[in-house]
Amino acid sequence: VATIPKFPGYLSRRGRFEPKDPSAALPTALPSGLVLDLTVTQPERAQLSCLGPQWLSGLPSAPYDADPRGLGSARGALARYLSPRAAVSAEQLLLTASTSEAYAYLLLLLCDPGDSILVPTPGYPLLDDLAQLCGVRLLRYRLRYDGAWFMDTTSLPDRAQMLAQRVRFVVAISPHNPTGHVMSGAELRALLALGVPLVVDEVFEPYVLKRYETDLDPLVLGNEAPLVLTLSGLSKSAGAPGLKLGWLCAQGGQASAFLSELEYVSDAFLSVNQLVAQGLPQILTQVSAIQARIRARLMLNADLVSEVFFGSAVTVLPLRAGWSIVLRLPDVLAEETWLQLFAAAGVSVQAGRLFDLPLSSSVVVSALTVPDMLQAGLEKIRAVVDAETAT
Ligand SMILES: Cc1ncc(COP(=O)(O)O)c(C=O)c1O
């Protein structure tokens, strides 16, 4: 009788099964016992009141409707929510439990094991895991910073490389986390020209603080392209990650055939909870107030960060969109050493290297942080940097 190998011998090689960041320094609590945590990105944990419970009252008691695209009334409400941006119909939408799940569906439907997808670097670290779990490799194009973020078009593969690497779709994260870069029309069109479906992750779309004429709404682009798949969900648009509701909007000449195939994947899971789908029309009536409160916090914090670091050796990268602020640190110390010094001062921040930021030393702080906490944490960071850069 064959023996089963000992754990972990029988695990597949899909996941990494190892801690992400084993070397991260743990912040030392201040004498008060407090850690100044500048990494909180859940609005409710940052004392931003989000969704009231009203959506739960008055839900109809209806038999479960196992529609692989998601409840029709929910998709109808979502189409109305998106319609000020572009003509979108309920038939173009498919509900998922999260944006992450929508990515997984796309990986399962469009990629065979060993195929690739093209993603930005810096990127969204979870995408590495989602792709790996589906047996898919990542090829990367670069975003660069030079006073503003932009896509480095020279880093895009040519047709021959796309074929050789078996690239099945390209991802734009716009607005991008943590850089806040919003893809311009020219950048989106350059990705579309690669000749594979374009997936736009726009979870931070309601949090664009500055728009330019060169921007192009992906939902507008979608109506004139072969296949554009735009992903978002309630976790950011309603500040409600726990509700577990995301969506995918398929647009373009191939959208209808694509959605019929996608139904096959989503029908295998049917993971959307009927209650949240029934409540979506009511939830969507609350999102514009929620988004306004969150944007007000972002703007307040953006000003606060600039004030704290004025005249210091820390460069605050402009917050154009999203929930993160990138701080570029002077090159006198390695990023790891800065992190250790900040941790010793009782401040918790995220390392720039977690996102592969193309800056020699940087940290990322949450722009949702409660302002008093943010100010206290940043002042400590400034004191550390001032001490290390004093001549
Ligand atoms: C760029 C980006 N996309 C997607 C997500 C996750 O969205 P969801 O909670 O809907 O899976 C996040 C979460 O932080 C994100 O930063």
- The answer on pLDDT for 10 being more than 90 is no
Structure confidence at residue 3 as a pLDDT band (50, 70, 90): confident
Instruction: Supply the pLDDT for residue 201.
Output: 98
Instruction: With cut-offs at 50, 70 and 90, classify the pLDDT of residue 244.
Output: very high
- CB crowding 62-78: b at 16 or more within 10 Å, else e: eeeeebbbbbebbbbbb
**pLDDT tens-place string over residues 334-380:** 999 999 999 999 999 999 999 999 999 999 999 999 999 999 999 99
CA–CA distance, 146 with 203 (Å, rounded to integer):
25
pLDDT at 329 exceeding the cut of 80: yes
- Express each pLDDT in 371-389 by its tens digit: 999 999 999 999 999 999 9
Closest CA to 180 of 304, 279, 319: 319
Range with the lowest mean pLDDT among 30-44, 162-176, 345-359?
A: 30-44
Q: What is the value of pTM for the model shown?
A: 0.94
Does position 124 have pLDDT exceeding 60, yes or no?
Answer: yes
Ligand 1 neighbours, Cβ below 6 Å, are 98-100, 124, 173, 177, 201, 203, 233, 235, 241, 246
Higher-pLDDT residue of 12 and 197 is 197
In the sheet with 315-316, reading across from the earlier edge strand, the strands are 315-316, 324-328, 362-366, 350-351
CA 233 to ligand 1: nearest atom: 10
Q: What is the pLDDT of residue 77?
A: 98
Q: How far is the CA of 328 from the centre of ligand 1 (A)?
A: 24
Kindly indicate the confidence band of residue 65, based on its pLDDT and cuts at 50, 70 and 90.
Answer: confident
How much is the mean pLDDT over the chain?
93
Closest ligand 1 atom number to CA of residue 41: 14
- List phi, psi (to 5°) of 370: -55, 125
How many angstroms does the Cα of residue 325 sit away from the middle of ligand 1?
17
Dump strand ranges (E) for the chain: 36-37, 93-96, 116-121, 137-145, 149-151, 167-173, 198-201, 228-233, 246-251, 315-316, 324-328, 347-348, 350-351, 362-366
**Cβ pair 88, 219 in contact under 8 A:** yes
C-beta of residue 119 within 8 angstroms of C-beta of residue 140: yes
If one residue of 50, 78, 99 were mutated to test the ligand 1 pocket, choosing by the most ligand atoms within 8 A of its CB, it would be 99
> With the CA atoms of 232, 322, 359 and 145 taken in that order, what torsion angle do they form, in degrees rounded to the nearest 10?
90
Pocket-testing residue among 100, 105, 130, 230, ligand 1, by greatest number of atoms within 8 A of Cβ:
100
For the cut 80, the answer to whether the pLDDT of residue 166 exceeds it is yes
CA 127 to ligand 1 center in whole angstroms: 9
Q: What is the pLDDT of residues 86-115, one digit of tens each?
A: 999 999 999 999 999 999 999 999 999 999
> What are the Cα distances from residue 103, in Å, to 223, 248, 324?
21, 9, 22
The residue ranking higher by pLDDT, 31 or 150, is 150
147-150: Cβ within 8 A, 24+ apart:
148/318, 149/176, 149/179, 149/180, 149/181, 149/320, 150/181, 150/187
For 168, the 3-state DSSP assignment is strand
pLDDT at position 33? 67
- Asked if 255 and 262 count as a contact pair (C-beta separation under 8 A), the reply is no
For tokens 């779309």, name the residue: 205
